[in-house]
Chains A and B, each alone.
Chain A
Amino acid sequence: MTDIPLHFRSIGEVSTMLAEGKTSSAELTELCLARIQVHANLGAFLAVDAEGARVQAKAADERRKAGKSLGALDGIPIAHKDMLCTQGIPTTAGSRILEGYVPPYDATVVKRWKDSGTVLLGKLNQDEFGMGSSTENSAYGVTRNPWDVKRTPGGSSGGTSAAIAAGLCFGATGTDTGGSIRQPAALTGTVGFKPTYGRVSRFGCIAYASSLDQVGPVARTVQDAGLLLQALAGFDPKDSTSIDRAVPDYSAALKRDVRGMKVGIPREFMEMPGLDPEVAAAVEGAVKALEKLGASVVKVSLPHTRFAGASYYVIAPAEASSNLARYDGLRFGPRREPPKASLRDVYELTRGELFGAEVKRRILLGTYVLSAGYYDAYYGRAQKVRTLIARDFEDAFKSVDVIACPTTPTAAFKLGEKTQDPVQMYLSDVFTLSCNLAGLPGLSVPCGFTTSKLPIGLQLLGRPFGEEALLQAAHAYEQSTDWHHQHPELP
């Protein structure tokens, strides 16, 4: 434990070190900035604001010296997924259509971490507009998995998870619409938390699918994730879908053990075709560990799981096609306007050339399912199926406190492996989609490795606003293992 280098330490640890004067925010910041440069080949960062970060670090150190520390996150270097608007710092959502766009305002979550004293290092790479599961859909190059640079870190929050896994920052935000925080966390051996829908503000989070999107933290330990979530959560009057409900003290949840906790194993998930046996084994091992810690395991059924993919791939593209209509080249981002271009030309050329292939596919699909005559057949049905999926969980949670299952069907796959067939890529979402459709909280915590030393994630799903139970179970499990002390070998 003492041999773990500073850049792999948890927020909990460095926060104590900061309080004890064993390090400074400036030192941590320089460390991160240097590592970002050294490991630029990972492609995790899109924009780095070194100057701004140094100023913030200095301010944090001064606060601490004056006894006015803002708390556990004060002076901790973090980064935001490029899906989140950061005032004065270019924000692209991984797309060319927002190249050069500098938001005139901060997202609420950006402001909240800022108010906690964190140091903003820069913006993290992602699949364009959140659409993808490997970050290969970024218009600015791929991100590589620190555990094996020939593999993807997952997506869409690939930059986020790679940065955390590689020790380039101490905490980061991701966004999760169908699994985009949890899946990359699983593939990179980090902790990724998607809160209940409405728990965290979406104001300033560039919208992909409004009824599914949530912002959440990615970190190296469950405790860190709890700390980061604490600072993010809470009602925002600027977001009509954020819920006005008190935020509990998440750190208190970590003090509780899992004795008496009921853990549900969904039959349909464990029987999913394409589930890698090594992943299945690691997840089963984690469940056994929870049992040893005092939890009891209950078999549950989520019968409408098989419809989750179909429902998601109608609802998300439909909402996306509408949310992305504002990217028209007229107000922000580049504009394609050849001489004598008509308005129609500007729209079609800008959007045609500056949106990537996956985004165009989803916009077209979304436009199609909402178009005259098809609403009931697709969108209408998909929203009803959602109700059924939510009901499945409601029923299951009558007899269990949390649901445990794999986060992904396989460990990290090779770059280029799934890019030929869009549907292939969609199949890697199967375990994470239902959670978004039902609006539930979910997290991924490391639970082992494959024989080729690739991380495997355990997914825990909870009741609406049941973040505490998830933190409780995940922390108890994590502390009984050594996974979170293992880090990729990087030069």
Chain B
Amino acid sequence: MERPLSISQKDVLHVLALARLRIPDTDLPKLTQDLEAILGHVELLGQAELAGVEAMGHAVPATLPLREDERMESLGPKGLEGSAGLHDRFIRVPKIVE
């Protein structure tokens, strides 16, 4: 997979949308510059010899512990107390338009 040599403002806008972040338009150039600098910092990855190397997902060689199918006490709506959006026992959000 080819890596692009730089990240454009258009790329940054796309990623901002994916990440649900909104910034003032005036911040876009500096942000793009910063991200480009960071990508430059990680460019070095391209030089590593990786033939036949497995990805390391976990630092520890272990397998997944399993939980028995037993009920535990549920906190319930108490866990949502203090939330700005608490409405009755629900979380209120702006109307979701399908």
Per the CB under 8 Å rule, do A and B touch in the complex? yes
Proximity bits, A420-438, B CB within 8 Å = 1, else 0:
0111001000000000011
A139 surroundings in chain B (CB, below 8 A): none
Q: Is B20 touching A328 in the complex (CB atoms < 8 A)?
A: yes
**Neighbouring A residues of B58 by C-beta, 8 Å:** 211, 241, 439
* Distance in angstroms between the alpha carbons of A234 and B23 in the assembled complex: 43
Which residues of chain B come closer than 8 Å to A337, judged between CB atoms?
94
Residue-wise, chain A 330-343 has the 8 Å CB interface mask toward B (1 for contact) of: 11101101000111
Question: What per-residue 1/0 map shows which CB atoms of A297-317 lie under 8 Å from chain B?
Answer: 000000010110111011000
0 or 1 for each of A202-233: is its CB under 8 Å from B? (1 = yes): 00000000010000000000000000000000
Among residues of B, the one whose C-beta sits closest to the C-beta of A348 is B22
Contact call A240/B93, Cβ cutoff below 8 A: no
Given contacts A211-B58, A244-B65, A364-B16, contact A352 B21 (CB under 8 A): yes
Do B79 and A104 touch across chains, with their CB atoms under 8 A apart? yes
Are A331 and B83 within 8 A (Cβ)? yes
CA distance in complex: A345, B95 (Å) = 12
A-contact bits for B62-98, CB 8 A (1 contact / 0 none): 1011010000000100111111110000010111110
User: Given the complex, which residues of B lie within 8 Å of A355, measured CB to CB?
Assistant: 21
Q: Give, as a whole number of angstroms, the nearest-CB distance from B64 to chain A.
A: 6
Contact between B60 and A464, CB atoms less than 8 A apart: yes
Q: Establish whether residues B54 and A384, one from each chain, have CB atoms under 8 Å apart when the complex forms.
A: yes
Chain A interface category by residue count: 35 or more
Given A371-B15, A373-B1, A390-B59, answer yes or no on A421-B44 (Cβ-Cβ < 8 Å). no
The answer to whether the Cβ of A382 comes within 8 Å of any Cβ in the partner chain is yes
Size of B's binding interface in residues, CB under 8 A? 58
CB distance from A409 to the nearest CB of B (A): 16
Alpha-carbon gap, A307 to B58, bound state (A):
18
Contact A351 B79 (CB under 8 A): no
**A: which residues have CB within 8 A of B?**
100-102, 104-105, 196-198, 211, 237, 240-241, 243-244, 304, 306-307, 309-311, 313-314, 321, 328-332, 334-335, 337, 341-349, 351-353, 355, 360-361, 363-365, 367-368, 371, 373-378, 380-388, 390, 421-423, 426, 437-440, 464
Q: Apart from A342-B94, A439-B60, what are 9 other A-B pairs with CB-CB below 8 Å? A: A104-B81, A244-B62, A331-B83, A331-B91, A355-B21, A364-B16, A365-B38, A377-B2, A383-B55
A-B contact pairs, 14 of them (CB 8 A): A211-B58, A211-B59, A241-B58, A307-B48, A343-B94, A364-B31, A371-B18, A375-B1, A376-B1, A383-B56, A384-B56, A385-B45, A388-B50, A439-B60
